[in-house]
Structure 1
Amino acid sequence: MIRAMTLADVDAVLAIEQAVHAHPWTRGNFADALASGYSGWVDELDGVLRGYAVLMLGVGEAELLTIGVATSSQRLGLATHLMQWLESQAQSYNFERLCLEVRPSNTAGLALYCKTGFIEIGRRRGYYPAANGREDAILMEKRL
């Protein structure tokens, strides 16, 4: 079941984030996002959080800021289901597009985004910190 993220979820969300991302958000990042009114969602089954996503809602568009699925719940279609949920949320606001940034080295993320209809629209050179310096960000969008 997908439901709104609350502050009570942040520790469980952070545990997933730290397990699946090389450069994870901090507890403060999640708390600040919720306090700022960003749209946070969690997928929960039998009281266990399996995945999460955070959207920033703007004028005419939503931006996916972070998404993650617990290692034990990967390869079950949950990320695709979360992406479809996010798209439906953006459409409910009559947004024109859903956008995101992704590392070129994030092959699983790129495959998910392409599978769910995103296209590359640009790059930000040296955007992300990386083990050997900096890594580009691929800008992607899906028209709604």
Structure 2
Amino acid sequence: MTPDDLAALHGRVFTVPRPWSAAEIAGLLDGAGVFLLTEPQGFLMGRAIAGEAELLTLAVAPEARRQGIGARLVAGFLTEARARQAESAFLEVAADNLAALALYDAAGFRQAGRRRGYYATATGPVDALVLSRAPI
């Protein structure tokens, strides 16, 4: 997948937070410790630096959800993070994204923090939950 492909999929999946542009994705991919995992209908970007891994974004095409793609990508993220010597992992997710919360819970992530009103939506602010997992 090219940055344009990734941005197109990201744009189909996200409104809050806003979708990332191809230039933003390309810039992230050039960053230290950043890695990309892909499936035909989804992708995950992560970063592993100094013993810690961050799941930057996960996007699965709406028509391909509930087929195990997200779970495979998260499992791949944990495997890649371990291979890069990460001892812990974290991510941020909208508190109202129940499907993502269930996915991350099944992968062993637990709430470590809350950023109140972090995301601005058409219906009002939504909290961001910081989830972590250690060891990975």
Q: TM-score, normalised by structure 2?
A: 0.89
CA distance in 2 between counterparts of 1:73 and 1:132 reads 27
Q: 2:14 is matched with which residue?
A: 21
2:26 paired residue among 19, 25, 31: 31
Q: Is 2:103 aligned against 1:108?
A: no
* Pairwise CA distance, 1:130: 1.9
Question: SS state of the match for residue 94, structure 1?
Answer: coil
CA distance in 2 between counterparts of 1:11 and 1:27 reads 5
Amino acid in structure 2 at the alignment position of 1:36: G
Q: 1:124 is matched with which residue?
A: 115
Q: 2:37 is matched with which residue?
A: 41
Question: SS state of the match for residue 113, structure 1?
Answer: helix
Question: What CA RMSD, in Å, does the superposition of the two structures yield over aligned residues?
Answer: 1.5
Task: Name whichever of 104-113 and 69-78 sits farther off.
Answer: 69-78
Amino acid in structure 1 at the alignment position of 2:36: G
Question: SS state of the match for residue 140, structure 1?
Answer: strand
Q: Once the two structures are aligned, what percentage of the paired residues are identical?
A: 33
Question: SS state of the match for residue 135, structure 1?
Answer: strand
* Pairwise CA distance, 1:68: 0.7
Q: 1:71 is matched with which residue?
A: 62
Task: Name whichever of 25-34 and 59-68 sits farther off.
Answer: 25-34
Q: 1:4 is matched with which residue?
A: none
* Pairwise CA distance, 1:124: 1.4
Contiguous gaps of at least 5 residues in structure 2? none
* Pairwise CA distance, 1:133: 4.3
Contiguous gaps of at least 5 residues in structure 1? 1-7, 44-48
CA distance in 2 between counterparts of 1:140 and 1:56 reads 15
CA distance in 2 between counterparts of 1:100 and 1:17 reads 17
